[in-house]
Structure 1
Amino acid sequence: MQTPLSVMDFLDRAELVYGDRVGIVDEPLQPASSWGELSYRRVAELARAQAAGLDRLGVGPGERVAIVSHNSARLMTSMFGVSGHGRVLVPVNFRLRADEVSYIVEQSRASVLLVDPELAEPLAGVKARHTFVIGAESDALLYDFDSAPKRYEIAESDTATINYTSGTTARPKGVQLTHRNIWLNSVLMGLHFGASDRDVYLHTLPMFHANGWGLPFALTGLGAQHIVLRKVDGAEILRRVERHGVTFLCGAPAVIAMVLEAAAEWDGPVPGRDRVRIIVAGAPPPTSVVQRIESELGWEFMQIYGLTETSPLATVNRGRAEWDDLPAAERAEKLVQAGAPALGSQVRVDAQGEVLIRSNQVLEGYWEQPQESAEALKGGWFHTGDGGTMADGYLTISDRKKDVIITGGENVSSIEVEDCLYDHPAVAEVAVIGVPDEKWGETVKALVVLKPGGSADEAELIAHCKQRLAGYKSPTSVEFRQELARTTTGKLQKFRLREPYWEGRERGVN
C-alpha cells in the first residue's frame, strides 16, 4: 500500500493525539493582536477555517498565497491552512524592500497577499487580487468557521510551498518544494535531532526561511510545544528559555553571538544548562564559538548544512560518543564540520571542488524557470555552488566556489582565515576577500569590525594570523569597518564587499 505524503499529516496527528495540549504560544506583542495559547485542536480548527475562507474568496487548488510576516501563530497556521488544503504557500522574507516583495508576488502570480501590520506602510504599493493587512479585521474575512473546507486531492509531488532565495547576485528564484520534499525533510530533522513530545521549541529562526527548516511540521506531528518569538534579541531568548522551559532552538551564528553577549550580563545561572540543544546553520561558526556555547551556556551545539533548495537538510553534525572524551578544542574542530549526509542523502564533491547533493529533499525546480532548474539539477545532482571537501564521511565547506581566493597559485579558504581572526579577542565580525594584486594575482584582505572597546591595529591582526596559518593564507591588509554588508537573512554579501576592489576590471578574478 502507498498513500501520498502531505504536510497535513503532521497537524492531523497532533489534533488526534495531542488535541488538548497547548501547541502554540503566540508572541504576546504581535501588532496584529496575539492569538495567545492555542491547543492543537484549535490550530486544526483555524487551519480548516482558513481553507474555507480561501474557498469563499474563490482561491482554487494550486493557487499561491503569499504572506510577508514576522514569526507568528498566523504564519505557522497558514502552513497547514494553505499548503495542507491544496494551495501553495509563498512565505516572503519580511526584511525585503517593497520592489523585491512586488517582484515575488508578481513572479509567483499570488492570488492572495497577507502583510504584517508593521509592514503595511512600506508595502502599501504591493498588491495581489486579494490583499490583507494581518489582524482582527482580516481574520474575520479570511477564516470561515461556518463552512467545511472543500477537499482537494493532494499528490505528494504537488508543490506545497515556493520559497524565494535571497537573490544576492540576481533576482530571487522561487524554490518549489513538494509535499514529499517537506514531509521527508521534517521527519529527518526530528529523527536526527531526537525530537519528541517533551520538547519545547523556541522559534528564533524566521519561519519564512526554508519553512523554518521544517521544524514547524516535525514538532507539530510529535506534539511538541512551539513558542513564537517575533524578533530576535539575546536577552529575550534567555528569558523565554527560562520562562517556558525551552529545550530546542535554531539560529545562524549571528543569533548565537547575541545570546552569548546577553549571557555575559545575565544575573544568575544561564537558563537551559544541560537541557537546551541548538542547531546552527547558515555559515560555519568559529571553533571558539562552539566552545563558548558548551562552556558558557552549557547548551548542546549541533549543526546542519543545506540550502533552501534541499528543504534544507543535507548534512548533520551532532556530537558522537567517540568525541565525548576529547579536549574541548578538538571536539569543537569536529563539530564545525558541515557534517555527514543525512539519512537517504548522497553528498559528493566533484573534480572542480563543488558540493553536489542527491536526495528526496532536493527541490522540484525553480518556479517557471526551466533553464535555471535544468542547470541546477544537471546530471541528476543538485549543484550547490559551494566548495568543500569530504573526509571520513564528513563534509567540510571551504567556501562559496567563487569566494575561494587564489593567491600565487594557492587556494585559500576565506572561512579558515576568518576563523583564525575570530580567535582574536578584539574582533567582533570579519569578512575575508580576495583583492587584485599585480604580483600574486590576488591577495588576502580582511575587513574587520572590532568589539565595543576592543583595540587592535592592522599589524597586530596580520601577526596574529601568521602565528596560526601558513604565510600565504594570512591577510596582507586589514581594513576596519563599522559594519559589514549582509543579505536579508544575515549572510555576508561578499560580492558587495569585493566590488570596490574589482571595479573597472572585465573579470572578477586576476
Structure 2
Amino acid sequence: MNITQALHKALRECPDALATADGDRRQSWRQLVSRVARLAGGLQGLGMRPGDRVAMLARNSDHYVEYLYGALWGGGVVNPVNIRWSAREIAYSLDDCDTRILFIDDTYQPLLPAIREHATGLETIVFVGDGELPDGAIPMEAVIDRSAAVADAHRHGDDLAAILYTGGTTGQPKGVMLSHGNCYLGAIGASLAAPRPPRQVGLHAAPLFHVAGMQSVFALSMRLGSHIVLPVFEPGQVLQAIEQHRIAEIFLVPTMLRMLLDHPGFASRDLSSLESIRYGASPMDVTLLERAMAALPGADFSQAYGMTELAPTVAVLPPRYHTAEGRKADKLRSAGVPTPVAEIRIVDPMDNELANHQVGEIVVRGPMVMQGYWNKPEQTAEALRGGWMHTGDAGYFDDDGFLYVVDRIKDMIVSGGENVYSAEVENTLLKLPQVELCAVFGVPDERWGERVHAAIKLRPDSELSESQLISHCKAHIANYKCPRSIEFVDEMPMSGAGKLLKFKMREAYWQNRERRVG
C-alpha cells in the first residue's frame, strides 16, 4: 500500500496517455513519472532524508501534482501549506514539524521574507513560478534538470506520507499525520462506496493543499485518470474547462456548486461530459442539491463525509440515492452509509453507544484513521481514546443504517435548556430563494443563556425583512429553534477550501466570555 504505486501502473498500462494538463502545458504519464523521479533525486540532493517533511505554498498547478509525487517517490513526507494563512501561521506549521524545504510560487512569493524571518528551521526555497527568482531560491526546473532519476523509495503501509495542518480554530493548528496506508485505503474505501470508471478526465478546482483535493489527486491517479488543473476555483473558468476538456468528474464543496449554478455563463456551456459530481467538506442544503440535480441531469451525484483525520472519507451517499427513484427513500439529508473500510458508532459523553435516532458524537475506527497529531501526544490520546477517532460531530443513525450529521458539537446552541442544531436552522433559511448564504450560531443572552442568531447574505437585488425570515422559520421548525436575532451581511469569511468560517463571526460576540455547550 504505497501512494506512488499508481505511477508504476500508469507507466506500464498507459504511458502515452494524458497525465496532466495545466494551461498550455500537457504531459503524458511517461513524462510525468520521469519528472517525478528526477525531482525526487533533486530533493535527495538538497538533503531530504527518508521521512523528512517537504512543504508547498502555492496555487493549484501541474507542478503541485509533481511536488506531491516527487516528495513521496524520494521517501519524503508532504506538508501542503494552507494558502489562506498569515506568514506567522505558515512559519509555525513549518517549524512545528521541522520542515526544511519549501516550494513556493509567484502568488505567495511576497510572503517569503516574513516566512524566513519567523521559520527558524527553513533552509531551502524551491521556486515554482515564472516571475523573478527570489534571493537564495532554486528554480524547480533547475532541480529537475540537473538531477538524475532515482528509484522509488517505496515507503508504504504505516510509513508517514503527509502532515496536514488543521485550521487552528481553537489554539494552535495541529499537524494530522497520515500514512501511506491511511491515504491508500481511504481512497479505496471511497471508491468502493461510489465506483467510477477508470481513465476518466478529472478537474481539480478545489485547493490541493486541502485533504480532499490531495486525495482527489491520489484517487484519480489510482484509476489512471487525467488531471486537469485550474489554479483556483473561479466559476467561469471551471465551466470553460469542463466544456474544453470534456471533464467527466469533479469534486466541489457546496459553495462552489452554488457559484457555478449562479454564473451567467452556466446555461450557455456544454456540460454534457460531466458524469460524476462528488460533493462534501461542508453541509449541503437539500434545496441547493435539488437545484443542482435538475440543472445537471446527466451527472451522478455522490456525497462524501469525513475529515482530515480520516483521510478524509468514511461515509458516502452514492449516486443511486440521488436519482428520481432513489429519492423516494428520502435519504438526501443523510451523509450516506459507512464505506467498506470504516466502522462508525454514535456515542454519549461517556463513550456508550447510543440507539438509532439518538444524537451523540460520531466516532470512527478503521485503517484510514490518522496516526495522530504531530508532537501532541495528549491531544492524540484524547481524540483516539478507546481506539476510535472522536470527530466532534454530532449525528445519529436511522433504522436503515444511514448516518445523519446534525452539527459540530461546538456549534450546537443551548438556549433555555434546549439543544438547537445550527445546521437544521440554516437548511430552513436556505429554502428561501433570496438567501444566498447563512450562518446560524449562539450568542450571549441574559435570559436564555444563548440565543439563536442568524447572519444572512442575500442574493443581489433581493430583499427580505427580519420578520419575514423569522416567520418563515416558525412555519417549518419549532419556535425555540427559530432565530431571535438576525444580521444582514455583505460577505462571510471563507476558508481556502470553501468552508464557511462560522467561528470567526461567533468570536465577536463571545470575546471575554466563556461559552459552554452541553
Pairwise same-fold verdict (TM > 0.5): yes
Q: Is 1:449 equivalent to 2:457 in the alignment?
A: yes
1:26 CA displacement = 1.5
Aligned partner (choices 105, 121, 124) of residue 116 of structure 1: 105
Output aligned runs, 1:328-367, within 5 Å: 334-352=331-349, 353-367=360-374
Q: Offset at 1:260?
A: 0.6
1:433-453 CA distance string (max 9 Å, x none): 112333333221111111110
CA distance in 2, matches of 1:408, 1:185: 41
Alpha-carbon distance between aligned partners in 1 of 2:16 and 2:44, rounded to the nearest angstrom: 28
Contact 1:435 1:445 in 2 (8 A): yes
Q: 1:417–1:397: structure 2 CA closer, same or farther, 3 Å change rule? A: same
Does the alignment pair 1:67 with 2:56? yes
Whether the aligned pair in 2 keeps the contact of 1:213 and 1:311 (CA below 8 Å) is: no
- Conserved 8 A contact 1:189-1:214: no
Q: Deviation per CA, 1:222-247: give whole Å up to 9, x if none.
A: 22111001111112111111111111
Does 2:399 match 1:419? no
Q: Is the 8 A contact 2:246 2:273 kept in 1?
A: no
Counterpart residue number, 1:259 = 260
CA distance in 2, matches of 1:180, 1:98: 32
| 1:138-177 correspondence runs (5 A) | 138-144=139-145, 147-149=148-150, 152=153, 154-177=155-178
Tell me, yes or no, if the aligned pair for 2:2 and 2:154 is still in contact at 8 Å.
Answer: no
Deviation at 1:421, TM superposition (A): 0.5
> Which of 128, 133, 136 is matched with 2:127 structurally?
133
Change (3 A) 1:326 1:278: closer
User: Match for 1:280: what amino acid?
Assistant: Y
Cα distance in 1, alignment partners of residues 231 and 281 from structure 2: 20
Equivalent position of 2:119 in the other structure: none
The secondary structure found in structure 2 opposite 1:126 is helix
Equivalent AA in structure 2 for residue 107 of structure 1 = D
Q: Which residue of 2 aligns with 1:483?
A: 491
CA deviations over 1:240-268 (Å, ceiling 9, x no partner): 11111111000111111111111x54353
How far apart are 1:466 and its partner, in Å? 0.7
Q: For the residues of structure 1 that align with 2:326 and 2:16, how far apart are their CA atoms? A: 44
Query: Residues 211 and 475 from structure 1, CA distance in 2 versus in 1: closer, same or farther, beyond 3 angstroms?
Result: closer
One-letter amino acid of the structure 2 residue matched with residue 388 of structure 1: G
Say whether the 8 Å CA contact 1:189–1:215 is kept in structure 2: no
Counterpart of 1:349, as a letter, is: I
* Match in the other structure for 1:325: 325
1:13 — aligned with what?
Answer: 9
- Give the C-alpha shift of residue 404 in structure 1: 0.9
SS at match of 1:66: strand
The alpha-carbon distance between structure 1 residues 506 and 411, as it changes in their structure 2 partners (threshold 3 A), is closer
Structure 2, gaps ≥5 residues long: 117-121, 131-137, 350-359
Q: Deviations over 1:165-200 (max 9, x none)?
A: 111222111111101111111222333332233411
**Whole-angstrom CA distance in 2 between matches of 1:146 and 1:408:** 66
Which secondary structure does the structure 2 equivalent of 1:295 belong to? helix
Query: Gapped runs of 5+ residues in structure 1?
Result: 29-35
Aligned equivalents of 1:66 and 1:160: distance in 2?
A: 12
What is the distance in 2 between the residues matched to 1:145 and 1:7? 25
Work out whether residues 436 and 459 of structure 2, in 8 Å CA contact, stay in contact via their aligned partners in 1: yes
How many residues in Structure 1 have an aligned counterpart in Structure 2?
494
Relative distance call for 1:325 and 1:239 in structure 2 (3 A) is same
Q: Deviations over 1:445-498 (max 9, x none)?
A: 111111110100100000011111111111122111112233343322333222
The separation in 1 between residues aligned to 2:150 and 2:275, in whole angstroms, is 39
- Hey, what does 2:352 align to over in structure 1? none
Cα distance between partner residues in 2 of 1:505 and 1:218? 44
Matched residue SS, 2:233: coil
Q: Aligned equivalents of 1:488 and 1:125: distance in 2? A: 20
Q: 2:500 aligns with which of 478, 485, 492?
A: 492
Cα 1:244/1:155, change in 2 over 3 Å: closer
- Contact 1:486–1:492 under 8 Å retained in 2: yes
Residue 110 of structure 2 aligns to a residue in which SS? coil
CA deviation profile, 1:107-147 (whole Å, cap 9, x unmatched): 12112111111110123332321112213661243215652
Match of 1:334, SS state, is: coil
Q: Given that residues 52 and 76 in structure 2 are in contact (C-alpha distance below 8 angstroms), is that contact kept between their aligned partners in structure 1?
A: yes
Q: Distance in 2 between matches of 1:210 and 1:326?
A: 29
Report how far residue 163 of structure 1 moved.
0.9
Deviation at 1:150, TM superposition (A): 5.5
Q: Which moved more, 1:437-446 or 1:338-347?
A: 437-446
Cα distance change, pair 417–75 in 1 and its aligned pair in 2 (3 A): same
Normalised TM-score (structure 1): 0.92
Which whole-Å deviations, capped at 9, do the CAs of 1:411-443 have from their partners, x for residues lacking one? 111101101101112111101111233333322
Determine the structure 1 residue equivalent to 2:179. 178
- Look up the SS of the partner of 2:107 in the other structure: helix
From the superposition, tell whether residues 410 and 129 of structure 1 become closer, same or farther in structure 2 (CA, over 3 Å). same
The percentage of aligned residue pairs carrying the same residue is: 35
Amino acid at match of 1:357: V
- In the alignment, the residues of structure 1 paired with residue 507 and residue 20 of structure 2 have an alpha-carbon distance, to the nearest angstrom, of 45
- Partner SS state of residue 124, structure 1: helix
Within 1, Cα distance between the matches of 2:442 and 2:208?
Answer: 34
RMSD (Å) for aligned C-alpha atoms: 2.1
User: Equivalents in 2 of 1:148, 1:485: separation in Å?
Assistant: 44
Structure 1: which amino acid aligns with 2:389?
F
Give the conservation status (yes or no) of the 8 Å contact 1:302–1:335.
Answer: no
Instruction: Tell me if the contact between 2:54 and 2:102 (Cα under 8 Å) persists in the aligned partners.
Output: yes
Question: For residue 40 of structure 1, what is the aligned residue in structure 2?
Answer: 29
> Is the CA contact 1:195–1:219 (under 8 Å) kept in the aligned structure 2?
no
Whichever residue aligns with residue 312 of structure 1, its letter is P
Q: Residue 235 of structure 2 aligns with which residue? A: 234
Please say if residues 176 and 308 of structure 2, whose CA atoms lie closer than 8 Å, have aligned partners that are also in contact.
yes
> Offset at 1:62?
1.1
Moved more, 351-360 or 481-490: 481-490
CA distance in structure 2 between the partners assigned to 1:148 and 1:213 by the alignment: 24
Q: In structure 2, do the counterparts of structure 1 residues 86 and 146 end up closer, same or farther at CA, with 3 Å as the change threshold? A: closer
Change (3 A) 1:325 1:148: closer
Q: Distance between the aligned counterparts of 1:55 and 1:434, measured in 2? A: 51
Pick the aligned partner of 2:396 from 368, 381, 389: 389
Residue number in structure 2 paired with 1:31: none
Paired position in structure 2 for 1:32: none
Amino acid at match of 2:18: V
CA 1:125–1:503: 2 relative to 1, 3 Å: closer
